[in-house]
C-alpha cells in the first residue's frame, strides 16, 4: 500500500464522519487492520501523539500508516517500515496530494523519507 492509497481510505472515513472531529487513523496492511483512538486532545501536537499511539499498536518490524488532521482542511499521512518513514499532506476533500493543488498549510506535501 502507498501513502496515496491510504489517503484514499482515510478520505472515505472523512466523507462518512466529517472532518471537524476527525481523529487519527492507523492502518496495519499485513493484518488488514484499521484503528482509531477513542479521542485526541485538540490543543497539543497531534502528530507526536498520533505517531506514538500508532507505533504502540504496531508489531516489531511491521509496516504501518498513520493519518491525522494537521490543518482545518488538510491531513497528513505518514508511512513507517523498518526504521524508515515517508510523509505526505493531503486535502481532506481532494484525491491527490496538496503539492498538486497548492502550498500545504501543515508542512510539505512532497514525499519525504527519513531513515530511523
What per-residue confidence (pLDDT) applies to 93?
Answer: 81
pLDDT over 90 percentage in the chain = 36
Query: 2 φ, ψ to 5°?
Result: -110, 165
Picking from 65, 82, 52, the residue whose alpha carbon sits closest to that of residue 26 is 65
What per-residue confidence (pLDDT) applies to 12?
Answer: 86
Question: According to the per-residue pLDDT averaged within each range, which of 6-10, 56-60, 94-98 is highest?
Answer: 56-60
What per-residue confidence (pLDDT) applies to 110?
Answer: 47
CB 90, CB 11: distance < 8 Å: yes
pLDDT tens-digit map of 67-110 = 999 888 899 999 999 989 999 999 988 655 555 444 445 554 44
pLDDT at position 116 over 90: no
Q: With bands split at pLDDT 50, 70 and 90, how would you rate the model's confidence at 61?
A: very high
pLDDT over 70 percentage in the chain = 76
Cα–Cα distance measured from residue 38 to residue 51, given in angstroms and rounded to the nearest whole number:
15
What distances in angstroms separate CA 45 from CA 18, 19, 76, 103, one per listed residue?
21, 18, 13, 21
Beta bridge pairs of residue 85: 80, 114
SS3 readout for the chain:
CCHHHHHHHHHHHHHHHCCCCCCCEEEEHHHCEEECCCCCCCCCCHHHHHHHHHHHHCCCCCCEEEEEECCCCEEEEEEEECCEEEEEEEECCCCCEHHHCCCCCCCCCCCEEEEC
What per-residue confidence (pLDDT) applies to 112?
Answer: 47
Amino acid at each position: 500500500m502507498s501513502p496515496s492509497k491510504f489517503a484514499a481510505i482515510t478520505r472515505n472515513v472523512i466523507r462518512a464522519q466529517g472532518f471537524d472531529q476527525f481523529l487519527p487513523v492507523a492502518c496495519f496492511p499485513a493484518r488488514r487492520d484499521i484503528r482509531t483512538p477513542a479521542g485526541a486532545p485538540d490543543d497539543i501536537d497531534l502528530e507526536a501523539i498520533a505517531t506514538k499511539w500508532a507505533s504502540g499498536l504496531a508489531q516489531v518490524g511491521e509496516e504501518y500508516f498513520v493519518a491525522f488532521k494537521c490543518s482545518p482542511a488538510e491531513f497528513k499521512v505518514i508511512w513507517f517500515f523498518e526504521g524508515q518513514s515517508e510523509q505526505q499532506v493531503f486535502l481532506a476533500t481532494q484525491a491527490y496530494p496538496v503539492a498538486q493543488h497548492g502550498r500545504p498549510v501543515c508542512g510539505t506535501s512532497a514525499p519525504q523519507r527519513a531513515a530511523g
